Amino acid sequence: MKYILVSGGVISGVGKGIIASSCGLLLKTLGLTVSSIKVDPYLNIDAGLMSPIEHGEVYVLDDGGEVDLDLGNYERYLNITLSRDQNVTTGKIYQHVIERERRGDYLGKTVQIVPHLTDAIQDWIERVARIPVDNSGREPDVCIVELGGTVGDIESAPFIEAMSQLQRRAGQHNFLQIHVSYTPLIGSEQKTKPTQRAISDVRSAGLRPDLIACRCETPLAESTIQKIANSCQVERDQVVGVHNVSTTYMVPILLESQGFLNTLSRILEVHTIPKHPKLVDYGKAIWQDWQGLATSQDQILGTVTIALVGKYTSLHDSYLSVSKALEHAAMHCKKKLDLLWIDASNLEEGTQETAPAEYYKAWHAVSTANGILVPGGFGTRGTEGMMKAARWARMNNIPYLGVCLGMQLAVVEYAQNVCGMEKASSAEFDETCEQPIVVYMPEVDKTKMGATMRLGKRRTVFQPGTEWSRIRKLYGEKKDIWERHRHRYEVNPEMVETLENAGLHFVGKDETAQRMEIVELKDHKWYVGVQFHPEYLSRVLAPSKTFLGFFAAAAGCLEGITAVFKDRHDLSHQGVEIAPADATAESESA
């Protein structure tokens, strides 16, 4: 197993996740299998109870793990499927060590940070790194470990020590460190001192950076690169610049143009890793597709405006997977995305928080958008504004997509304004409402919060007689689909017959036909609500069909997109399948 550690210095949020993901993609182009692990040095067990406004979105995996949003970057770039164990937190590690101590596993020893905690970190990483993550079923050749935060943070110290020990445990040519630093531009001069200090801090902590990735506003000048190389005692090709580009999908191309992959391959001696011919061909194919999609964005003229009406729009990372799924759809529709971020509260007239100027600005954006999207969320704030946006889309034949809460509110709005159920509401907002359209799921434990929702990948079955459905047509002959979920509330099964008699069709249900998964209006360009979160399975090279259909409807090209994508297999993004009989058919070079 070969490991790549991606750490950060100077400031947080410099793009370690994108650089780690880009590194993995480039390695996959050589025919290697790549896995990823994210280390988050906070005490939370997982990201499930973190505020989206503080920490960004909670990303959900197939196994129901609620994890850091960077795991979404890994899955989107590397076309892999990760598990909850690939997100390591301080809380998880301490819990693991304390449970072992309580069982007596340490045989009476005084349990300490070193060696017990640091050994547990290394053992965890070595175990998880070997779990297959794609359709090939192969143990990964390389595992990329991203260390959250910045080196020097007190909470990161145990992980830094563990990584220092792991580089010795892994051995020469099996461990490489990429340190991401910030190179500020002051006036017209690129300052290298912060990077010099950051590298000094890393080395004093026991690590030896092999590559220095410098985040900067403009391309690094050759003199700046030489200065960093000289002052940090590395070769010229061990310094790469990652300047601002038009789209993050250009970052792998930017790195490759600087010889980044060649340097990685030389230090890790990638040529010694046996490679399967099918994976080599697959790697070449995905790189060609990636380059075509990423570079085509600069030549596209047509723009599609999408109004995202949400609760957490003050931090765009709160809806990171949603915005990325829209970007994937835009690339495949050959259009530019103009995403308007609208606080749902600003659509509510007369509320104390909404200034008149913000109210009219929000409504102008909604009324002029090509499509309206209401994503997931929790709590009552802004829900009236979300329902108003859904009603506007329904009444004016504007393409609409409601995800989780957005689906539930679309159903409540329909019940109120079409079915005449004036007191219709959700039990999430009013537990005593007389006409509960949305109810608490019976199997969910109300006494706990963490990891108690309906989580992970679940089955949705298209219902008989719904062949007209626009979203169903995108899936061709498939009668069921699998998507990731994260919710506590659901549409009340007792209200379904009334709603369907009024024209609101539940075209997708779970395998028991009791849980509503997809709702759709028949005589509308695209009015779809889904209980699941399709954004979690959207990939750059395999966009979510739910988001693709919505965006294509907004762009006016739904029929053409349906014809192209209806026969594409949902799991094509996970790579090639390799039969056990082919396991010995390895190629010695890429």
Q: Is residue 317 part of a domain?
A: yes
Q: Is residue 122 part of a domain?
A: yes
Phi, psi of 36 (to 5 degrees): -140, 145
**pLDDT above 90: residue 12:** no
CA-CA-CA-CA torsion sign (16, 19, 21, 27): negative
Instruction: Judge if 405 and 483 occupy the same domain.
Output: yes
**pLDDT above 90: residue 224:** yes
For the question of residue 96 being annotated catalytic, the response is no
**pLDDT above 70: residue 14:** yes
Task: Tell me, yes or no, if the pTM score tops 0.85.
Answer: yes
Strands 185-186, 189-190: pairing kind: antiparallel
Task: Give the pLDDT band (50/70/90) at residue 370.
Answer: very high
Which letter, b or e, does each residue of 522-544 get, where b requires 16 or more Cβ atoms within 10 Å of its Cβ? eebbbbbbbbbbbbbbbbbbbbb
Instruction: Judge if 347 and 258 occupy the same domain.
Output: no
Instruction: Judge if 361 and 243 occupy the same domain.
Output: no
Instruction: Judge if 262 and 348 occupy the same domain.
Output: no
Domain boundary among 257, 288, 319: 288
Contacts of 216 (CB under 8 A, 6+ apart): 182, 183, 184, 185, 190, 241, 242, 243, 244
* pLDDT the model gives residue 589: 42
Mean pLDDT of 30-36: 96
Q: Is residue 475 part of a domain?
A: yes
Q: What is the pLDDT of residues 399-435, one digit of tens each?
A: 999 999 999 999 999 999 999 998 999 989 988 888 9
State the average pLDDT for the chain: 92
Task: Give the pLDDT band (50/70/90) at residue 11.
Answer: confident
Q: Which of 404, 428, 483, 485 is catalytic?
A: 404
Task: Give the pLDDT band (50/70/90) at residue 298.
Answer: confident
Instruction: Judge if 356 and 264 occupy the same domain.
Output: no
Task: Give the pLDDT band (50/70/90) at residue 316.
Answer: very high
Q: What is the pLDDT of residues 130-165, one digit of tens each?
A: 999 998 899 999 999 999 888 888 888 999 999 999
Contact 23, 583 (CB under 8 A): no
Give me the number of domains the chain comprises. Answer: 2
Q: Is residue 294 part of a domain?
A: no
Q: Is residue 347 part of a domain?
A: yes
Distance between CA atoms of residues 8 and 182, nearest Å = 9
Q: Which of 179, 328, 485, 533 is catalytic?
A: 533
**pLDDT above 70: residue 583:** no
**pLDDT above 90: residue 289:** yes
Tokens of 518: 């997809």
CA-CA-CA-CA torsion sign (401, 405, 409, 411): positive
* pLDDT the model gives residue 280: 94
Distance between CA atoms of residues 430 and 440, nearest Å = 11
Give bridge partners of residue 400 from the DSSP assignment. Answer: 372, 527
Phi, psi of 149 (to 5 degrees): 75, -160
Mean pLDDT of 461-466: 96
Instruction: Judge if 106 and 43 occupy the same domain.
Output: yes
Contact 178, 7 (CB under 8 A): yes
Q: What is the pLDDT of residues 18-28, one digit of tens each?
A: 999 999 999 99
CATH number at residue 166: 3.40.50.300
Instruction: Judge if 356 and 226 occupy the same domain.
Output: no
Q: Which residues constitute the domain of residue 460?
A: 301-566
* pLDDT the model gives residue 83: 96
Instruction: Judge if 149 and 277 occupy the same domain.
Output: yes
Q: What is the pLDDT of residues 235-276, one digit of tens each?
A: 999 999 999 998 899 999 999 999 999 999 999 999 999 999
Instruction: Judge if 388 and 278 occupy the same domain.
Output: no
Q: Is residue 236 part of a domain?
A: yes
Which amino acid does the sequence have at 258?
Q
Phi, psi of 500 (to 5 degrees): -70, -35
13 phi-psi bin (left φ>0, alpha ψ -120 to 50, beta other): left
Q: What is the DSSP letter of 275?
A: B
Instruction: Judge if 217 and 104 occupy the same domain.
Output: yes
Mean pLDDT of 316-337: 95
**pLDDT above 70: residue 366:** yes
Mean pLDDT of 105-126: 95
Distance between CA atoms of residues 579 and 427, nearest Å = 50
Distance between CA atoms of residues 2 and 567, nearest Å = 37
Using alpha carbons only, what angle is made at residue 212 by residues 126 and 247, rounded to the nearest 5 degrees? 95
Q: What is the pLDDT of residues 488-533, one digit of tens each?
A: 999 999 999 999 999 999 999 999 999 999 999 999 999 999 999 9
Tokens of 100: 């072992």
Q: Is residue 578 part of a domain?
A: no
* pLDDT the model gives residue 351: 66
Instruction: Judge if 266 and 330 occupy the same domain.
Output: no
**pLDDT above 70: residue 570:** no
Q: Which of 348, 428, 490, 535 is catalytic?
A: 535
Tokens of 193: 């001192």
Task: Give the pLDDT band (50/70/90) at residue 444.
Answer: confident
What is the percent of the chain where pLDDT is above 70?
Answer: 96
* pLDDT the model gives residue 301: 79
Strands 175-182, 2-8: pairing kind: parallel
Distance between CA atoms of residues 522 and 528, nearest Å = 10
Phi, psi of 428 (to 5 degrees): -65, -30
**pLDDT above 60: residue 588:** no
Q: Is residue 572 part of a domain?
A: no
CATH number at residue 504: 3.40.50.880
For the question of residue 404 being annotated catalytic, the response is yes
Instruction: Judge if 369 and 257 occupy the same domain.
Output: no
* pLDDT the model gives residue 573: 54
